[in-house]
Amino acid sequence: MQTRWMLYLEDGETLKLLSGVPRKWLEDGKSIKVVSIRIPHPEGKKPLNVFGGKYDSNNESVIINPFNGKANIRIEY
């Protein structure tokens, strides 16, 4: 569980991403890769449109490729 907290942590209504990553992981030449973001609909609906990435219905995830440092994802149901 502690390893997971390095990558994400809930703090009240805020989801903190990468807040516990060791500084060593962020040295020059090193990288952390996030392949996809899982965004399931609370009622199990499938999206009608997805903007900002490719939707993987098997995993209910959006894959952002290529990633240029900033991403905006919009899913319409």
Could you report the per-residue pLDDT of 4-41, keeping only the tens digit for each?
A: 667 788 889 988 888 888 889 889 999 877 788 888 99
Angle (nearest 5°) at CA 36 between 60 and 32: 160
Strands 36-38 and 8-11: unpaired
Do 9 and 20 form a contact (C-beta atoms < 8 A)? yes
Give the global pTM: 0.63
The number of beta carbons lying within 10 Å of the beta carbon of residue 48 is 8
pLDDT of the residue at 3: 67
